[in-house]
Amino acid sequence: MFFERIDRFRRSLAFRLTLLYTVMFMILSFVAFVIFYEMAIFSTHARIDRTLTGEVKKFSSLLASMGLGILKEEMSLEAESTGTGKVFFRLLTTEGEEIVSSDLSLWKGIGISRIALSHLADKGPLFETLKPPGSRHKVRVAYGIAGPGMVLQIGHSLREDEHLFEDFIEVFRTVMAIVLALAALGGWFLARRGLSGVEKVTQTAMAIADGAMEKRVPLTGRGDEIDRLSGIFNHMLERIQTLITEMKEVTDNIAHDIKSPITRIRGLAEVTLTTEKSIDEYQTMAASTVEECDRLLGMINTMLEISETEAGVGPLSSSEVDISALVADACDLFHPLAEDKGLYVETHTLPQCLLHCDRGKLQRVVANLLDNAIKYTPSGGKITVSVQENGKDVIISVHDTGIGISPDEIPHIFDRFFRADKSRSVPGAGLGLSLVRAIVRRHGGEVQVRSAHGIGSTFTVVLPR
């Protein structure tokens, strides 16, 4: 159990983020240290080089004004006062032969650079850093013109500076260890704080998996990525719960509405079997059974189409459609039905109105609206169909002078299987307007209704371009 916890902790995202943060911090700190260390060495060498350049100028002037003897005395005095182990002076010919020097007993490993002598010429002092054999510390050496045919070599030990750098490295190691520990703790705190929202999402998902569908992820209000993820997760849960509720309603509605046609089929079959069995009766029963089955299949297919459209299953077959022509064709198709009922159909369309949409689905929308208008408009009434546009939207309107809808029923007319009181005598399943709304919303639009009881209704479909 203990090792399982350790392994689970090692595999956790918080641990990996903390490790990554600590490693990145360590790398950046090391890079910063290297840059600072190199800059410190460069600065130290530059300071020593300025000092050595000043010494070269001083001894060159002394040689020119006081001669070789005074120069030798001054070399010895300055080397003793500074420390024979810290600095040395040597006067050379341009060929590298020693003329005079300070005490070199502690500088036996320091040679003469032929390359420096050959490149010195009339240039300013040249510098190099050497590490004498058997010595732990480096030496900064300067070569400069002391006079005609003479070169002054001055060496300065870097022992004190290197001790300072060594102390600095030791201090850096100690401080770095402490800072890395604090960085790891800080990284762990930040990782846990940053992932706390993910943990809440996980806990909510686990609770939902156990059946608590009402659970939601609490929002912090910070507006960060985790908060937005939680909001989207909650929205997804709301959508899922809505779909589950709708599926339950559909199931209940199917169970309720399938009863009627199945009962009629069974009753017809039972009556036929219990009476005289003439061929006409069997034919009537068969025809009625086919009719009821067609009605039942049509209702089921419509319900499936509504569910698929609302759930966004399958892409729309989008193409450029002339809405004016589509509406005109639908009116022509329903014109004989309207004439048989004594209704007048009037159309007001634009010469051309192009829209990217699913032609087949929009044909269903217009057909359902026209079918409803014809069903619920008494003989002698009028149906007006129009197509308009306002720049960003295409508007299809179907107005009738029918029985109208009461204000209490308007909020429910797009619900599945809902039928107003006055429409119950008219054949239908109460799914047409539900399908209309599902298709229109799938296209990003909205369907609106205005109705006055006993005067008529106007259904308006607004489709964005």
Position 425 scores a pLDDT of 46
Shared-domain flag, residues 28 and 145: yes
Q: Which tokens hold the place of 181?
A: 């520990």
Q: Please indicate, yes or no, if residue 385 is contained in any of the structural domains.
A: yes
pLDDT at 444: 87
Q: Is residue 180 part of a domain?
A: no
Which residue is associated with the tokens 């009556």?
A: 271
Q: What is the residue whose two structure tokens read 């169970």?
A: 255
**pTM for the predicted model, two decimal places:** 0.49
Where a domain ends, among 130, 163, 196?
A: 163
Going through 139-203 in order, the beta strands assigned E by DSSP cover 139-147, 150-157
Classify the phi-psi angles of 199: left when phi > 0, otherwise alpha if psi is within -120 to 50, otherwise beta: alpha
Largest CA distance in the chain: 155
370 and 242 inside one domain: no
For the chain, the residue count is 465
Residue type, 38: E
User: Are residues 130 and 6 located together in one domain of the fold?
Assistant: yes
CB count in 10 Å sphere of residue 402: 24
What is the phi/psi pair of residue 322, to 5°? -85, 105
Same structural domain for residues 303 and 325? Answer: no
pLDDT at residue 423, rounded to an integer: 47
385 and 409 share a domain? Answer: yes
**C-beta of residue 370 within 8 angstroms of C-beta of residue 337:** no
Are residue 354 and residue 426 in the same domain, yes or no? yes
Q: Which residues of the chain have pLDDT under 70?
A: 1-13, 121-123, 194-199, 220-226, 246, 249-260, 272-273, 276-278, 311-314, 416-430
Number of domains, the chain: 3
Task: Give residue 10's pLDDT.
Answer: 65
In a domain, 138, yes or no: yes
Alpha-helical regions (H) of 312-446 = 323-340, 359-375, 432-442
Give the residue numbers spanning the domain of 400.
318-464
Q: Is 294 among the domain residues?
A: yes
pLDDT for residue 424: 44
For residue 121, what pLDDT is reported? 63
DSSP track, 124-137? --EEEEE--TT-SS
Residues 15 and 128 occupy one common structural domain? yes
Going across the sheet that includes 87-93, the strands are 98-101, 87-93, 150-157, 139-147, 126-130
Of 163, 193, 208, the last residue of a domain is 163
Residue 172 is assigned to a structural domain of this protein: no
426: Cβ–Cβ under 8 A, 6 or more apart, which residues? Answer: 375, 376
Q: Based on the domain organization, do 300 and 390 belong to the same domain?
A: no
Whether 419 maps to a domain, the answer reads: yes
277 and 154, same structural domain? no
Crossing angle (nearest 10°) for helices 225-274 and 279-311: 180
Supply 234's token pair.
Answer: 């909650």
Please indicate, yes or no, whether residues 269 and 333 belong to a single structural domain of this protein.
no
Domain assignment present for residue 154? The answer is yes
Please report which helix (H) or strand (E) contains residue 55, including its range: helix 13-66
415 and 374 within one domain:
yes
**Identity of the residue numbered 441:** R
Q: Are residues 142 and 276 in the same domain?
A: no
